[in-house]
A = this chain, B = another copy of it.
Amino acid sequence: MAIRLKDIAADLGISAVTVSKVLRGKPDVGEETRQRVWERVRAVNYQPNLLARGLASGKSQTVGLIVPDLLHTFFAEFAKGLKAGLRKRGYQLILASAEEEPQLEREEIDTLLARGVDALLLATCQPEEDALASLAAIQVPCVLVDRAIPASGRPFVGTDDSAAGRLATEHLLSLGRRRIAHIAGEGFSTGLDRLQGYRHALTTAGIEPRSEWVVCRSRLEEAGDRIGEAAMAEFLALPERLDAVFCYNDLSAIGAIRAVLAAGLRVPEDIAIVGCGNLRLADYMRVPLTSIDQSTGEQGEWAAKLTVLLLAGKEKNLDRQVRLAPKLVPRSSTQGS
């Protein structure tokens, strides 16, 4: 068994409570005692048992994050920023992944709560109705991430996705494109908002959005390349040729580009393509990909900040919505090269 608090206390001939106080930085301990405790703690490399501490105190200084899939670099990057932000504020992170399975997500929620996390951050992969039910049962502060559910009344940190849709579409318009299609993401606010931004930009430019130029697809995070390729093939089969496509994410954009090239057309000369997410490798693709950057790491930092404020009761606005502004990163897939 590892060394315990009471061992240290016994060694020093003082009470366990005093040692505990020193460890937690309580002020009501004499300077000399404090010194001796720390000295001994370091000497034996004592580590407090977090299970016991959490059980006794009802607090764990730990928050949980559940993401749909860590293979999506977005979430890995978000987790990284979040972790740094939490650390800076004296909190730890437990990371869990739902592997895109709603059932697993529910289990992870239960597990993290059973582990006594002080707060939960959730990028849900559940359909809205189910997510609402899950959320309703969560008794600790809970921040939604990436995928918004306004009806939940929970705080949110994510991208301003409708701005992302607008930005991408306006970029294409500014290049003189007029017949702009969209491969949309289905099922979550990210997809719906980007679609809305796309429509808004078109309308503002005096172009009537055409329904045959929008396809909605799910699972774009996992299989976007295949799905994007197939969707693009459908677009290419339309009687009137498009001159640009805004894709829900970079993976689907990469697939779309493949389909365009396979059809013997050029990117961007014949069809310009914009993705979203700004993948690390976007610049090394067959055609370097114009994309929308989401400042993912910053989102994590924001989430940390907001969560800790909530925990401290210092955030008055209990359904605070933080939406970071997306940025366009132009590359060859829209600008020639």
Contacts and interface: CB of A to CB of B under 8 A. Distances in A.
A114 B48 CA distance: 6
A1 to B, nearest CB: 8
A51 B53 CA distance: 9
B50 A116 contact: yes
Contact of A284 (B48, B52, B71, B285): B285
B97 A94 contact: no
Interface residues on A, range: 35 or more
Number of copies: 2
Nearest to A1: B58
A95 B95 contact: yes
Interface string A292-323: 00000000000000000000000000000000
A254 B284 contact: yes
Nearest to A109: B47
A111 interface: yes
A113 interface: yes
A80 interface: yes
Contacts of A55: 49, 51-52, 55
A111 to B, nearest CB: 6
A242 interface: no
A43 interface: no
Contact of A115 (B50, B80, B96, B281): B50
Contact of A71 (B76, B99, B113, B139): B76
The A interface is mostly helix, strand or loop, or mixed, namely mixed
Nearest to A45: B137
Contacts of A50: 111, 114-116
A284 B286 CA distance: 6
A51 B48 contact: no
Interface in A199-224: none
Interface string A38-72: 00000001011111101100001000000001110
Given A97-B83, A225-B284, A258-B284, A114 B49 contact: yes
Contacts of A238: none
A189 interface: no
Nearest to A77: B71
A73 interface: yes
Interface in A111-151: 111, 113-116, 137, 139
A247 interface: no
Interface of A: 2, 45, 47-52, 54-55, 60, 69-71, 73, 76-77, 79-80, 83-84, 92, 94-97, 99, 110-111, 113-116, 137, 139, 225, 254, 258, 279-281, 284-286
9 contacts: A2-B113, A50-B115, A51-B51, A83-B97, A92-B111, A225-B284, A281-B281, A284-B285, A285-B285
